[in-house]
Structure 1
Amino acid sequence: MTFLYIQRYIDIASLQMKKAFFQLHISVFLAGFTGILGRLITLNEGMMVWYRLLITALSMWVLYAVFSKRLQKISWQDILKISAVGFTAAMHWVTFYGAIKYANISVGLVCFSAVGFFTALAEPLILRKKINRTELLLGLITIGGIYIIFHFDTEYKTGIILGIISAFLGCLFPIFNRRFLQRINVETVLTWQITGGFITLSVLLPFYLQQFPVSRFLPGWEDLLWLLVLSWICSVLAFRLTANALKHLSAFTVNLTYNLEPVYGILLAFMVYNENQYLSRWFYLGFAVIIGVLAFHVFLVIRSEKRAKALQEELHPDEKITL
């Protein structure tokens, strides 16, 4: 009887895992689409992220505080900590869109794959657990793929550097969010994170614009339309899906799955902007290495699940499971 309850729990957990993976992949596709939006929106990267955070923060407060009333009361200490994570997320987006604008969509997106390497190092340090050598090796191979592109396509140097900085910053907030989500609901974490990111970026923005002056501060009608898509679809919806997935998946799995973001984004860039005409064979070689890493990780996950099932059957060969 005890085994039946354990098996039922495992089946429920498996269903939750499948749902989490589905939500994660929808979020990854939306993240890939942000690369297209980064080029469609003509504002510079700092102003673009500032408007994104403004629209997203206002939308979340209206949606979660006024209508659904899903916001929890949390301490000022938690608000400050979540806001600090929000600033990290804001700077991740600034450097990400900077990579796209200084290079192109494909280069900016493929550099984001370095997030797996940084996660393999940062997650054990932050969560105080043993480093997984397999994860670290996969991350190092990904870095090797990016190096192939960097070494032979030097015209994209600035964009690649910004992309790698973006990947480092991008590995941090999923790790911290996972800890917050163990005791605070998704809506509260995301609302305060986006709000904190907006406030801290607003303080930094005047100094940023002194170094990178812009000719205009207000978006045109077309830019405003794409900013709404970026904020409502690719932010509010995508963040919620990713946060839900983090409840059942490790930060490394989430970040490594986000290596599909370049796949979706680059395919869109090929279709919309014909970027394949401007990329050398070294880009495709480096990209192939990164895709190989992702495929191998999927193989390892599937093999691990099969071994776990085989072990259960070996231990209880005659058990019939009835849900």
Structure 2
Amino acid sequence: MKQAYFKLHIALILAGFTGIFGKLITLNEGLISWYRLFLSSIIMIVFFAIKRSMSSTTSPDKFKIGFTGLLLGLHWLLFYGSIKYSNISVGVVCFALSSFFNAVLGPIINKKRVSFQELFLSGLTLCGIALIFGMDAHYRTGIILGIVSSMFSALYTLYSERIVKQHEGGTFLLWQMVGGCIGLTLVMPLFFLISSTVSIIPSTADFGWLLVLSSFCTVLMYFLINSALKKIPSFTVSLTFNLEPLSPSCLRY
């Protein structure tokens, strides 16, 4: 259990840099999310090509794992949209609402009793969001995107918790990234209809940041998160990530 918490907090530190990359990369939120999934998929494919061994997974399980990847991709898209329309601090603070959505949606998805303790602890975040929302109308679009993003983050954590224990960590992450990339590819045409973009090809600098983002803040980070979910409840994972506003993202910006 101690090892699981250690992995979770290392993942939390890595998560703190994702917002910074969202500002450094000049692509829009949709392309950042797609390239992040695409490059992460390539990294995992290369890893297993070198390793030359992978746990077998049935097609239905691949679909279920891939669905969690799509939820993750939609979370990223909205999270980076929140940052683009406001700033890193607002986007990260809104992300803290994932524990609240976890407390609300968890009993529905897992068919269990509502925990009023979880609702109280996670509901405290609502006060901070309401305060920010009322202070500056300029950030409201970013806040709304951030709130919806946190809901998808909670769904990702809840569904991953249900199936991650049945699979080897690397294999689970591979199909998660591949499924998310395929799913987000199908969503991108709709995204381009409502959001204009200057270029879909990243610059050299953008590609470099995307590669770092994919390697450390995606493949490594989500391997640690998925590993922690095998031992730690999804609500605890979501609540721990409420500490992300204290991460490097907000220290720099």
* TM-score interval for Structure 1 and Structure 2 normalised by the shorter chain: over 0.9
- Pairwise CA RMSD of aligned residues? 1.2
| 1:109 paired residue number | 92
1:249 to 223, 232, 247: 232
Q: Which has the larger radius of gyration?
A: 1
| CA drift at 1:245 | 1.0
Query: What SS does the aligned partner of 2:200 have?
Result: coil
Alpha-carbon distance in 2 for matches of 1:39, 1:262: 16
1:147 to 96, 116, 130: 130
| 1:88 paired residue number | 71
In 2, are the aligned partners of 1:23 and 1:245 still within 8 Å (CA)?
yes
Higher RCO (C-alpha 8 Å, min separation 6): 2
| 2:145 paired residue number | 162
Q: 1:19 to 1:151 in 2, by over 3 A?
A: same
Seq. identity, %: 43
Query: What SS does the aligned partner of 1:124 have?
Result: helix
Alpha-carbon distance in 2 for matches of 1:25, 1:209: 36
1:212 to 195, 203, 209: 195
Q: 1:97 to 1:73 in 2, by over 3 A?
A: same
The letter of the residue matching 1:66 is A
2:38 to 40, 54, 64: 54
1:178 to 135, 143, 161: 161
| CA drift at 1:122 | 1.4
Q: TM-score, normalised by structure 2?
A: 0.96
Query: What SS does the aligned partner of 1:130 have?
Result: coil
Alignment of 1:272-291 (within 5 A): none
| 2:9 paired residue number | 25
1:122 to 102, 105, 108: 105
Structure 2: gaps spanning 5 or more residues? none
1:238 to 207, 221, 225: 221
Alpha-carbon distance in 2 for matches of 1:116, 1:255: 5
In 2, are the aligned partners of 1:91 and 1:166 still within 8 Å (CA)?
yes
Query: What SS does the aligned partner of 1:78 have?
Result: helix
Q: 1:248 to 1:186 in 2, by over 3 A?
A: same
Q: Deviations over 1:115-164 (max 9, x none)?
A: 11100111222122221111011122211211111111221000000000
Q: Deviations over 1:9-59 (max 9, x none)?
A: xxxxxxxx2211111111011111100000000000001111111100011
Query: What SS does the aligned partner of 1:181 have?
Result: helix
Structure 1: gaps spanning 5 or more residues? 1-16, 271-323
In 1, are the aligned partners of 2:40 and 2:219 still within 8 Å (CA)?
yes
The letter of the residue matching 1:40 is L
Query: What SS does the aligned partner of 1:217 have?
Result: coil
Alpha-carbon distance in 2 for matches of 1:183, 1:84: 16
In 2, are the aligned partners of 1:121 and 1:136 still within 8 Å (CA)?
yes
In 2, are the aligned partners of 1:180 and 1:189 still within 8 Å (CA)?
no
1:38 to 18, 22, 35: 22
Query: What SS does the aligned partner of 1:80 have?
Result: helix
